[in-house]
Amino acid sequence: MQTIIEPFRIKSVEPIRLTTREERASILEAAHYNLFDVRSEDVMIDLLTDSGTAAMSADQWGGVMRGDESYAGSPSYERFEAAVKALMPFEHVIPTHQGRAAERILMGLVGGAGRVIPSNTHFDTTRANIEATGAEARDLVHADGLDPALDRPFKGNMDLDRLEALLDARAADVPLVLCTITNNSGGGQPVSMANLEGIGALCRRYDVPFVLDACRFAENAYFIKQREPGYADTSVEAIVREMFSHADGMTMSAKKDGLVNMGGWIALNDDAWAEAARNQLILTEGFPTYGGLSGRDLEAIAIGLQEVVREDYLNYRIASTQYLGDALTDRGIPIVQPVGGHAVYVDAKAFLPHIPPLHYPGQSLAVALFLAGGIRGCEIGSVMFGKQPDGSEAPAAMELVRLAIPRRVYTQSHIDYVIECFEEVQAQKEQLPGYRITKEPPQLRHFTAHFAPRDA
């Protein structure tokens, strides 16, 4: 059979309010052309993020009812811990309310001025939590990962030569090596098993711990199964266990491949680090058997972890992201190649060459998609990264619009509608205006900035 069906039936639905183009024009104006300022009820297809937006299964909702809300020693924690350890066999599993809380606690333990923490590409909250301690966050993704059009199977890989050079020169200043799977900031690209093994071997040689930022571990494992020689007949669960066998710990946002709306954890082998992390956890998150979550959340994660490694689910998941990417490629719309696991990244600089980077082609495309069909994507370009610490502006490395696909939420006809909206935008792309920023905060301006279209 050629058709890959959604491997679920829909039991509960959320209505989508259908808007007219005129309504969307006034919604955009009221939001100062910032899609973060649009109410979700005014969005028809919300591709802002795949984080915390998954649909839970009937089993997970059943688990929610079973959640034990005892302050200490809850059996929900035991089921959560067992589900994590079945895939990621680390000694200590410490729940947190979401991924950045895990990062905050871990970086608080190991960061500090003079330290440097490398990764393939740090996600922005990871980078911010490292820099908040005074340490340096360094991206060492392989050069392949920086070329949007290049089609390679594992563009999330770390450059092992540069990692070795860093460890050779400064191992004493490197408290741990991170690797993000899949590499979200680099286009959702996977990291190969060989690369994980290579990082692990270098870390052991220099006696530096290796920690995975593992939000999308199941999608990464499925890419290894599909693309890396020797893994086609290995189960996803076995691939996941092998991936984590190279590491000494992990941070996790369960809002992605935990298939839940909130949650995360830190897992570690080192007893002293785990004790220090639990002491921090008690200060800001909660007691170590719930850490900022409810018992019901822990139950939902425990079940989500079993569902996310099922091959029918992953086959549907990766194929549906690919379906959108292929359709855009067929229509000549430039995207980051190959298509990532959780999102399609449109190359707005190549799509709208008449708009210079500091007139924000990504913002222009994101606004045009909303106007055409109520679709909400996310600019990842000079709006997000163009502001320099000294207050000046410089173009970002790439001008992208991320269309992140929530897990188990939209069907193929929703995606067909997105494709049709792209066709409409493409037909009038020469007329799309650049934008200027009329108001912005000092930091993280993309969330709250106001924009105005420039005269065409």
Q: Which residues bind ligand F0G (CB under 6 A)?
A: 49, 51, 98-100, 123, 125-126, 180, 184, 213, 215, 253, 255, 264
CA distance 350 to 169: 39
Complex with ligand F0G: residue 126 or 195, whichever CB lies closer: 126
Q: Which residues make beta-bridge pairs with 116? A: 136
Complex with ligand F0G: residue 267 or 432, whichever CB lies closer: 267
Structure tokens at 396: 């970002």
CB of 68 to ligand F0G, least distance (A): 24
Buried b (16+ CB within 10 A) or exposed e, 101-135: bbbbbbbbbbbeeebbbbbbbbbbbbbbbbeebeb
CA distance 37 to 50: 18
Give the residue closest to ligand F0G by C-beta: 99
CB of 243 to ligand F0G, least distance (A): 15
Contact predicate 35/374, CB 8 Å: no
Complex with ligand F0G: residue 99 or 200, whichever CB lies closer: 99
CA distance 92 to 273: 10
Complex with ligand F0G: residue 98 or 289, whichever CB lies closer: 98
Pairing of strands 116-119, 136-139: parallel
Pairing of strands 45-46, 375-376: parallel
CB of 289 to ligand F0G, least distance (A): 20
CB of 420 to ligand F0G, least distance (A): 25
88, 230, 260, 299 from 91: Cα distances, Å: 9, 29, 23, 20
Complex with ligand F0G: residue 19 or 98, whichever CB lies closer: 98
CA distance 35 to 237: 38
Complex with ligand F0G: residue 202 or 260, whichever CB lies closer: 260
Neighbours of 404 (CB within 10 A): 23
CB of 50 to ligand F0G, least distance (A): 7
CB of 332 to ligand F0G, least distance (A): 27
Complex with ligand F0G: residue 19 or 320, whichever CB lies closer: 320
CB of 288 to ligand F0G, least distance (A): 19
CB of 120 to ligand F0G, least distance (A): 10
Q: Write down the residue that tokens 């065409």 correspond to.
A: 456
Complex with ligand F0G: residue 34 or 126, whichever CB lies closer: 126
Buried b (16+ CB within 10 A) or exposed e, 173-199: bbbbbbbbbbbbbbbbbbbbbebbebb
